[in-house]
Amino acid sequence: MPDIYTVRVEFRGRFLGKECRQEDLAMGRMNWRFVKPSFAVGAFGLAVGLLAGLNVLISGTPATAPMMGWVDDWTHHHVVFSNPGTAAEALAQGRFEKWYQIVNNPRYMMQQMKRNPERAGARDFGARAALLRTSIGFPEPIWSLKYPPNPTLKRDWSVLLGAAATVGGGNYPAKFSFNSTPSCSDFAVFNASLAGSATQATVEAITNLYSTCNGGVQTVAWAYNTTNGDIVGTSVVLSPAGNQMAFISTNGGRAYLNVLQFAGGQGTAYNHPATPTASTTGSAYATCKKNTPTGTCLLRLGFANGDNDTTSSPYYDYASDTLWVGDASGKVHKILGGFNGTPAESGNPWVSVGAITALTSPVYDGTNYIYVGGANGILYCINNSTAAVTASNPLAGGKGITDGALVDPIAGEVYVVVGTDTESTAHPGVYRLPTNFSAGATGSEISLTQDAVNVAEYAGSFDNIYYTNDVSGTTQGNLFVCFYDQNADYLLDFPVANFPTPTGISTSYGSYYQVTSAATPCSPVTEILSGGADWVFLSVSTDANYTAGGASTCTAALGCLYNFNIGNGTTLSFSDSTTPTAGFPVAAGGATASSTSGIIVDYTASPGNNIYFTTNATGNGSPCNPTSQGCAIQVTQAAP
What gap in Å lies between CA 359 and CA 355, rounded to an integer? 10
- Looking at the structure, tell me whether residues 132 and 144 fall in a common domain: no
- Looking at the structure, tell me whether residues 164 and 67 fall in a common domain: no
Task: Please report whether residue 347 resides in a domain.
Answer: no
Q: Is 105 helix (H, G, I), strand (E, B) or coil?
A: coil
Report how far apart, in Å, the C-alpha atoms of 516 and of each of 417, 438, 521, 537, 593 are: 20, 39, 9, 15, 14
What gap in Å lies between CA 413 and CA 66, rounded to an integer? 29
Q: Quote the pLDDT of residue 546.
A: 61
**Sequence letter at residue 552:** S
Contacts of 175 (CB under 8 A, 6+ apart): 71, 72, 73, 186, 187, 188, 189, 600, 602, 612
Contacts of 275 (CB under 8 A, 6+ apart): 196, 198, 224, 225, 226, 227, 228
One DSSP character per residue, 598-618 reads --EEE--STTSEEEEEEB---
What gap in Å lies between CA 517 and CA 557, rounded to an integer? 11
Task: Please report whether residue 290 resides in a domain.
Answer: no
Task: Please report whether residue 213 resides in a domain.
Answer: no
Task: Please report whether residue 472 resides in a domain.
Answer: yes
| Tally of domains within the chain | 2
Residues 2-49 have pLDDT tens digits of 332 233 333 333 333 345 754 333 333 333 333 333 333 343 334 434
- Looking at the structure, tell me whether residues 554 and 535 fall in a common domain: yes
Query: Would you say residue 619 has pLDDT above 80?
Result: no
- Looking at the structure, tell me whether residues 638 and 528 fall in a common domain: yes
- Looking at the structure, tell me whether residues 633 and 553 fall in a common domain: yes
In terms of Cα–Cα distance, which of 433, 425, 370 is closest to 397?
A: 425
Task: Please report whether residue 83 resides in a domain.
Answer: yes
Mean pLDDT of 265-284: 96
Q: Quote the pLDDT of residue 595.
A: 77
Lowest mean pLDDT among 174-178, 249-253, 282-286: 174-178
Positive/negative CA dihedral, 272, 278, 282, 285: negative
- Looking at the structure, tell me whether residues 159 and 102 fall in a common domain: no
What gap in Å lies between CA 478 and CA 509, rounded to an integer? 10
Residues 38-83 have pLDDT tens digits of 333 343 334 434 443 333 333 333 333 445 578 999 999 999 999 8
Evaluate the omega torsion of the peptide bond into residue 240 and state whether it is cis, within 30 degrees of 0. Answer: no
Q: Is 102 helix (H, G, I), strand (E, B) or coil?
A: helix
Query: Would you say residue 438 has pLDDT above 70?
Result: yes
Contacts of 631 (CB under 8 A, 6+ apart): 158, 159, 160, 161, 165, 614, 615, 621, 624, 625
Does 540 or 273 have the greater pLDDT score?
273
Beta bridge partners of 197: 200
Report how far apart, in Å, the C-alpha atoms of 365 and of each of 204, 322, 382, 384, 436 are: 29, 13, 11, 10, 11
Domain final position from 136, 161, 194: 136
Q: Quote the pLDDT of residue 63.
A: 37
Q: Quote the pLDDT of residue 142.
A: 28
The rounded radius of gyration (Å) of the Cα atoms in the chain is 23
Contact of 249 with 259, CB cutoff 8 Å:
no
User: What are the φ and ψ backbone dihedral angles of 289, each rounded to 5 degrees?
Assistant: -65, -35
Lowest mean pLDDT among 108-122, 210-224, 455-469: 108-122
- Looking at the structure, tell me whether residues 478 and 596 fall in a common domain: yes
Mean pLDDT of 293-308: 95
- Looking at the structure, tell me whether residues 501 and 612 fall in a common domain: yes
Domain final position from 120, 136, 152: 136
User: What are the φ and ψ backbone dihedral angles of 286, each rounded to 5 degrees?
Assistant: -60, -40
Task: Please report whether residue 338 resides in a domain.
Answer: no
In terms of Cα–Cα distance, which of 258, 386, 378, 383 is closest to 330?
A: 378
One DSSP character per residue, 507-542 reads -----EEE-BSS--PBPPPEEEEETTEEEEEEEESS
The per-residue pLDDT of the chain, averaged, comes to: 80
Confidence of residue 149 (pLDDT cuts 50, 70, 90): very low
What gap in Å lies between CA 172 and CA 166, rounded to an integer? 10
**N residues, the chain:** 640
248-278 burial code (b ≥16 CB/10 A, e <16): bbbbeeebbbbbbbbbeebbeebbebbbbeb
Report how far apart, in Å, the C-alpha atoms of 129 and of each of 34, 83, 102, 104, 153 are: 19, 17, 15, 12, 40
- Looking at the structure, tell me whether residues 490 and 603 fall in a common domain: yes
Residues 316-348 have pLDDT tens digits of 999 999 999 999 999 999 999 999 999 999 999
- Looking at the structure, tell me whether residues 145 and 86 fall in a common domain: no
- Looking at the structure, tell me whether residues 472 and 516 fall in a common domain: yes
Contact of 94 with 32, CB cutoff 8 Å:
yes
Beta-carbon count within 10 A of 12 CB? 10
- How many helices and strands (H and E) does the chain possess? 9, 37
Task: Please report whether residue 406 resides in a domain.
Answer: no
Lowest mean pLDDT among 178-187, 383-392, 567-576, 623-632: 623-632
- Looking at the structure, tell me whether residues 640 and 545 fall in a common domain: yes
One DSSP character per residue, 370-414 reads EEEEBTTS-EEEEETTT--EEEPPP-B-TT---S--EEETTTTEE
Contact of 324 with 332, CB cutoff 8 Å:
yes
What gap in Å lies between CA 371 and CA 415, rounded to an integer? 10
Task: Please report whether residue 608 resides in a domain.
Answer: yes
For 101, the domain range is: 42-136
Residues 549-588 have pLDDT tens digits of 455 667 777 778 888 999 999 999 999 888 888 888 777 6
DSSP H or E stretch at residue 280:
none
SS (H, E, C) 482-505: EEECCCCEEEEEEEHHHCCCCCCE
Contact of 599 with 615, CB cutoff 8 Å:
no
